[in-house]
Amino acid sequence: DGGITQSPKYLFRKEGQNVTLSCEQNLNHDAMYWYRQDPGQGLRLIYYSQIVNDFQKGDIAEGYSVSREKKESFPLTVTSAQKNPTAFYLCASRKTGVAHGYTFGSGTRLTVV
Amino acid sequence: GQQLNQSPQSMFIQEGEDVSMNCTSSSIFNTWLWYKQDPGEGPVLLIALYKAGELTSNGRLTAQFGITRKDSFLNISASIPSDVGIYFCAGQLSETSGSRLTFGEGTQLTVNP
């Protein structure tokens, strides 16, 4: 079955360390997105990519980096520059031209210890 | 950026009761979407709305696209325990600019059996 997979489900990081969250989709979707979710807040866009080898900053890109070397993959690196990285991170993909065609992964909960 | 105000933030109801939640925006959207998120999972699309004034149903769920294009509401009739979760509204302006979604802050729904 096609879908979008995020790994790991839970991640613990020491302060000052970079960490990379994985997002893989086999839906043949062109666009991929990373969102951050904090309690009591909506999803906030970190980065998005509409095609391979291209990506744009979202609303809260500082302290994060991404790459899009393959259509299927859109990893997110949380760098040590991100001052408050503990959050639930959601990856999504979308078929271009379909407004409601977002598919979300099941998320990664990152905790800084 | 654009902001969506979603209310109420939380609701505690008895099984069988009807529920209503809404979102308002300071600017116009061309598409309104309603999602449900179960704990520790990604959001799942419930209803998509594409035209001002549109009223759409999906089982016990009914949603409307406000005539001004700046608001939307979601009703759940005859609630059941599995309706528990966080409900998000999301607006999309256009297919350009990466087809970004702007999310509301969410409504946490608790249903008491």
Q: What is the pLDDT along chain A (113 residues), one digit of tens a residue?
A: 679 999 999 999 998 899 999 999 999 999 999 999 998 778 999 999 999 999 999 999 999 999 999 999 999 999 998 889 999 999 999 987 766 678 999 999 999 98
> Considering CB atoms only, which of B33, B42, B102 is closest to A100?
B33
> Considering CB atoms only, which of B31, B92, B103 is closest to A42?
B103
Comparing CA positions, the residue from B90, B82, B113, B112 lying closest to residue B32 is B90
Our CA angle for B101, B94, A98, nearest 5°, is: 75
User: Cβ contact (<8 Å) for A40 and B105?
Assistant: yes
pLDDT in tens, B41-67: 999 999 999 999 999 999 999 999 999
A61 phi-psi bin (left φ>0, alpha ψ -120 to 50, beta other): alpha
Please check whether residue B110 is in contact with residue B12, taking contact to mean a CB–CB distance below 8 angstroms.
yes
> Considering CB atoms only, which of A35, A42, A48 is closest to B98?
A48
DSSP strand pairing (B107-112 vs B10-14):
parallel
User: Cβ contact (<8 Å) for A99 and B45?
Assistant: no
**Dihedral of the alpha carbons of A70, A23, B91, B64, in degrees to the nearest 10:** 120
User: Cβ contact (<8 Å) for A105 and B31?
Assistant: no
Q: How far is B41 from chain A (nearest CA, A)?
A: 4
Band (B98; pLDDT cuts 50, 70, 90):
low
Predicted pLDDT of residue B93: 80
Within 10 A of A9 (CB to CB), how many other CB atoms are there?
A: 10
Per-residue pLDDT at B95 exceeds 70:
no
